[in-house]
A and B are shown apart, each in its own frame.
Chain A
C-alpha cells in the first residue's frame, strides 16, 4: 500500500512544519478535519476490493491516532512556551540588550588564512614580497625574455623602465632563494596588479598565493602529492582533479590544475563556462634558468612552484558573481561573512 506510506510521510512533514498555534490549527483541519485527507480516504474505503478493505481501514485508523497524538504534543509545547513567555509578567521575547555587534575579517583575508593554515601544516612558512618590484625579479629572473610575447600574458603597470607593480607573486621566488638555502618551503600571499579592463571577473588589483618548494630530487610527482593534499583539505575528499600541461616561463614542465565543477559535476554549466572544469592553480617544476638567476645549481637542486588566485577561490566558495564586490568594502557585503572561520 504505497499510497498509504506516501500519505503518512506527507502528513508527518506537515506536522513538522508547524511553527505557531495558528499553523497548528490549519494543519489539524487539513489532516483530520471533515474535509481532510484522512476522512476522505476513510470514506473511500467502500470502493476498495473486499480483501483490501479491512487492512486499509485499520491502517488509516492507526494513522489517525498517530496524527492526533503528534498534533496534541505540539499544542502542549506551544502552550508551555506561551506560559513561560509571560510568566510573572515578564515578556522574555523582547529584544536582548545587544552587546557590541562584532565585525569580521574580509573574506579574502579569511581565504588567505585558511590556505596558509593548510600549508603551515605541510611545513611551508609564510613570506612576503614587495608590491613595487623590479622588472628584473618580476620578469627577467623568472625567465621572461625581453620583448617576448610571454610578457603579454600580463598587462603591466610600470613606474619606469626598471620598476613596476608586480603582476604575480612569483618574483618572491628568486628573492627568497637568494636569502635561503634548500631545503625550503614557502608560501607568499600578496597583492598583484594588472593593467586590465575592469569587468565582472577583472580588477586591476587582486590577490595571489605563491608556493615554492626546493630540495634534492624533488619531482613532479611530489608536486602532485602536495597539490592533492591541499585540494583535499581545502575542497574536500571527493573532489576530482586533473593536471593539464600549460606554459609559464618560470616553470618547466608547467601544469594547470583543474577541479571538476562542483555546481554541475562535470556536465558543464555557467559557473565553469560549460567545460565542466574549474581552473584552480598554475604550477610546475622550477625552470633551470630561474635557479640560475637565484644562484642555485640546477643539477643539485630541483623544486616546484605553484600559484593560486585568491579572488577566484573566494568567489567560488561564497557564490560571488562579480569580483568588484570584493573591493567595494560595502558593509552590506562584508557583514555577510561573520560566520566564516
Chain B
C-alpha cells in the first residue's frame, strides 16, 4: 500500500524526519518497505505566448509560430490544429526535459528550423491522450515555470499491511497510527451533510436478498454533474500512490477508497433500468462484461448487483460495462456497502479478478465507515463535478446485526504474557492512543497496580480485535517490543542429546563424505515419464503416486515414490558439466508411498489420506568402464565395499544378498539388503544400460538405497573382546573351483570346516583362462589361524587345512592346485 505524505498531512502532523517516521511506523507494526520520492518536474518548460502563427511554407498540417518566453522570441513549429496567435501555451524550450527522459533539441522540419516544442497534456504526462496542445489561462505571465502549475513533489511510503489490519489500507488509517505515535490530533475530512430542511424524496429502492451476504447498502443519487478532468491536486496524489487518473467521478471513488478505505462504485443512473437495485446471487451461467471489457461467466455463488434487466456489477469486485460512467454521464448512483468478506474472496479468486475494491472487501471494511465514505465522496462530487446531491438516500441495514464491541482485558494477563510490569493506567493510555477506550472495573486505586481489570470498547474500524490476546498485542506493539526487558534468568532447558535417527544419519554422512560422496538435495516432484523410464509400471507399488492438483506451470506433477530419477538426473548434469569421474553423490530425502496405516493408528480421521513418508539414504557412483575381478563392474563392487564398511560403522550386520528384481537395475547385477532382523531395508544394483541411455549417461552407474527408518538403530554398546597375543600362522591355498560354485559358498565351507583356530579368510587372487580348465576358476585364498591360549603348532594347522580341503572337494568339487 502506497501512502502519500502530502495526503497524510491532511489528517495528521509530525515533526520528525521521514526516515524517523518510517522507523517508528515499522516498530509499531506497519513495516515501511520503501521510501521513495515522487517528483514530477519540467526543467526548461515555461509558459509561452504565441505571438504569430502562420502555415508552414512546405507542410499543410504544420504551423510556424513565434513564441515569447518572457525574455525572447523563438521560432517553433507546431503540429497541433488548435494552435493560434494570442494563446498562452506550454513551451518546452531547447534543452528542456519532458517526462520519459525526452529531451528537446533544435530541429529542422521540412527545411525550417524549430527551437522547442509546444506541448499537449499527454506530453507533460498529465493525461493518457490529448487532442491538441494545452491552452493555459491568459493571465499567466510568459516565462513562468511550468513546475509552478503542474510540478509535484511528494514522498511515498510503501507500507506492508498485514491481512489482519484492513483499517491500514487507507490514508486515514495510517494517520491514526501516526497520531498514536506522535500524540498529534487527528483531523477528519470534510463531508457532505444532508440539508436539515426541504428534503427531496428519493425515487429509488434497494432490495437485499440476504443480509448475510450484504449487511449494509447505501445508495445516493447525484444529478446534473459534469464529467471532466479532476483538479490537479487530486490527479497528483492519485498518480503518486500509483493510480491512473481517469475522470473526476471515477477519480473520486478511487480517492475516497485510498483516503478512507471504503470501496465505492458509481453507476450511470440513466443506464440502470427501472428504479430498483437488487443485491442477490447471480442466476448462474450468466455472461457478464466487467468494466475491463472482459466477458465473465458468473455462478449462482457470486453476489451481484442487478437492475430489472440483469446484473450491473459483480458485488465488491468490479462494475459492469453496461452501467459505466462516461463523458456523457450526468446522473449517477453512488454505492457504498458492506459485503460478506469470504463471499467476495471466493468470487474474486474464482474469476481471478482481484481489484483494489475486492482486496478491501475480503479483508473486511468498516461498517460505520460505509456511510461516512459515501458522504465524503458526495462532498467531492459537489466540489469537483458540480453535482446536485439528492438530499434523501437509501441506507439498508441488517436489522439483526449484532457486533461485539467490548472486550475484557486483565492487566495481569498482559504482564504475564509479555513478561512485563505495565501498570493499569499505562495500559489505558496506550489503548487510548489508538482509539480504544477502556473502563476500569473495580477500584480507582487499581489504576497504579499491574493487575487491574478493564472493559475495552472496540471502535468499528478495529473489528480485528475479538479477544483479550488481540488487545495484549496492541499494548505490546505500542509499548514497543524493543522496550520489553530481557529476562536473563530464563532458561528454556538444559542440553539435550541428538535423537538416535539423527546420530545414525550423521555417522553415515561422515563416512560417506569421507569416502568422497557429496550431498545433494533434490525435488520431491517427479514426472510420470521419469518413472516410466525406470520401467516402473502399473502394478508396482511405486506406480501409485499422488498428483498435485494445481502444479507449477511447466513443473512436474507427481510426488515421487522413488529417488532414482533425481539421482540419475543429477549425475547426468554433473557429467555434462565436466565433473571429474567418478561422480559420487548421496542424498537423504523422502519418498511418498501409498499409506499402510491402520484405522486405529490414526490420530485424525483424515490421516488415512496421507502417504507413507519414507526417509531414504541413497548413494551412487558413476565411474569409468572398468572391471573388478572376474569381469564384475568396478562401480558396483566399489559400492558394495562402501556398503560393507558402512554396515560395520553402523554396528549392524547388514546382509547383502545377490538378488532382487528392480526393473532399473541390470538383471543379475543387483542385491537385496536386509538388517539383522531380516527386514528388507534396501537394494543395490548396477543401473541397466537401457535406463542410462534414456538419461544420456555414458558411464556405468551403481546405486544403493537404504530405508533410514530401519537402518542402524538400536545398536548394542560395544563390548571389548580380548585379542590373542600369540603368533598367528597363515596358509595360502590355490583352489580350482567350478564356475557354478560361488565364492561365498567356498568361504562358508572353509569357515565351517577349519575349526575354532581360524580367525580370518581372505581372497588374494582370482584367475580364469590359460592353464585353467574351462568352466573353472582359479582362486587364491589366505587362511589365518591363531589361538588365544598358546603358540600354534604347525601340526594343528595342518589338521585344519586337511579338513578344509576335504570339505571343499567333497561337497563343492573344489580341488587344490599343486
Contacts and interface: CB of A to CB of B under 8 A. Distances in A.
Interface in A216-247: 217, 219-222, 224-226, 228, 242-247
> In the complex, which of the residues B162, B416, B502, B523 has the most CB atoms of chain A within 10 Å of its own CB atom?
B162
A147 B345 contact: yes
A131 B613 contact: yes
A242 B513 contact: no
Nearest to B481: A243
A113 B499 CA distance: 13
B546 A225 contact: no
B327 interface: no
Contacts of B28: 245
Nearest to B27: A244
Contact of B502 (A126, A178, A328): A126
A210 interface: no
A285 B476 CA distance: 12
A60 interface: no
Interface stretch (B57-65, B225-233, B251-259, B514-522): B514-522
Given A220-B419, A245-B28, A131 B476 contact: no
Contact of A302 (B416, B473, B477, B515): B416
Given A104-B513, A224-B486, A332-B577, A134 B610 contact: yes
B579 A331 contact: yes
Contact of B496 (A105, A120, A225): A120
B493 A157 contact: no
A163 B573 CA distance: 33
B162 A120 contact: no
A331 B546 CA distance: 31
B363 interface: yes
A334 interface: yes
Given A195-B552, A224-B486, A329-B522, A150 B516 contact: no
Contacts of B516: 100-103
A191 B524 contact: yes
A193 B170 CA distance: 33
A149 interface: yes
B165 interface: yes
Contact of A134 (B497, B522, B609): B609
B67 to A, nearest CB: 43
B524 A252 contact: no
B112 to A, nearest CB: 49
Contact of B613 (A121, A132, A150): A132
Interface in B339-365: 341-342, 345-346, 362-363
Given A191-B524, A253-B473, A105 B493 contact: no
Contacts of A133: 610
> In the complex, which of the residues B33, B420, B550, B583 has the most CB atoms of chain A within 10 Å of its own CB atom?
B550
B589 to A, nearest CB: 8
Interface residue tally on B, bucketed by range: 35 or more
B191 interface: no
Nearest to A144: B163
Contact of B164 (A106, A150, A198): A150
Interface in B562-579: 570, 573-574, 577, 579
A134 B604 contact: yes
B518 A103 contact: yes
Interface in A118-164: 120-126, 130-134, 136-137, 146-150, 152-153, 157-160, 162-163
Contacts of A331: 518, 574, 577, 579, 583
Contacts, number: 248
A134 B607 CA distance: 7
A199 interface: no
A330 B29 CA distance: 41
Interface in B514-555: 514-525, 546-552, 555
Interface in B485-513: 485-488, 490-499, 502, 506, 509, 512-513
Contacts of B341: 147-148
A158 B520 contact: no
Contact of A147 (B27, B346, B416, B519): B346
A124 B609 contact: no
A67 interface: no
A166 B515 CA distance: 35
B488 A178 contact: no
A204 B493 contact: no
> In the complex, which of the residues A148, A193, A331 has the most CB atoms of chain B within 10 Å of its own CB atom?
A331
Given A120-B498, A204-B555, A106 B467 contact: no
Contacts of A125: 496, 499
B31 A219 contact: no
A109 B518 CA distance: 12
A302 B417 CA distance: 7
Nearest to A277: B26
Given A106-B520, A132-B546, A219-B416, A152 B163 contact: yes
> In the complex, which of the residues B473, B523, B606 has the most CB atoms of chain A within 10 Å of its own CB atom?
B473
B29 A288 contact: no
Interface string A165-187: 10000000000001000010100
A221 B485 contact: yes
Contacts of B362: 149
A193 B552 CA distance: 11
Contacts of B163: 148-150, 152-153, 247
Contacts of B477: 245, 253
Nearest to A151: B163
Interface string A303-341: 000000000000000000000001111111011000000
A244 B481 contact: yes
A130 B609 CA distance: 12
A185 B493 contact: yes
Interface in A186-200: 191, 193, 195, 198
A106 B519 contact: yes
Contacts of A288: 467, 469
B611 interface: yes
Given A132-B546, A149-B163, A242-B482, A204 B552 contact: yes
B547 A159 contact: yes
B699 to A, nearest CB: 14
B164 A220 contact: no
A113 B516 CA distance: 20
Contacts of B550: 157-158, 195
Contacts of A27: none
B203 interface: no
A244 B518 contact: no
B590 interface: yes
Contact of B519 (A109, A225, A246): A109
> In the complex, which of the residues A109, A124, A130, A220 has the most CB atoms of chain B within 10 Å of its own CB atom?
A220
Given A191-B524, A255-B481, A220 B519 contact: no
A253 B525 CA distance: 36
A222 B552 contact: no
Given A105-B519, A205-B524, A224-B484, 12 more contacts: A103-B515, A109-B521, A123-B495, A130-B610, A131-B592, A148-B345, A191-B590, A195-B552, A221-B420, A252-B473, A253-B473, A334-B519
15 contacts: A122-B491, A126-B498, A157-B548, A159-B547, A221-B419, A222-B492, A225-B486, A246-B31, A247-B29, A253-B476, A254-B473, A255-B481, A302-B416, A329-B520, A331-B579
Interface of B: 26-29, 31, 33-34, 162-165, 341-342, 345-346, 362-363, 416-420, 467, 469-470, 472-473, 476-477, 481-482, 484-488, 490-499, 502, 506, 509, 512-525, 546-552, 555, 559, 570, 573-574, 577, 579, 583-586, 590, 592, 603-604, 606-607, 609-611, 613
Instruction: Return the 7 tightest CB-CB contacts between A and B, nearest first.
Output: A123-B493, A221-B419, A219-B419, A245-B29, A247-B162, A103-B518, A243-B481
Interface of A: 100-106, 108-109, 113, 116, 120-126, 130-134, 136-137, 146-150, 152-153, 157-160, 162-163, 165, 178, 183, 185, 191, 193, 195, 198, 204-205, 213, 217, 219-222, 224-226, 228, 242-247, 249, 252-256, 273-275, 285, 287-288, 302, 326-332, 334-335
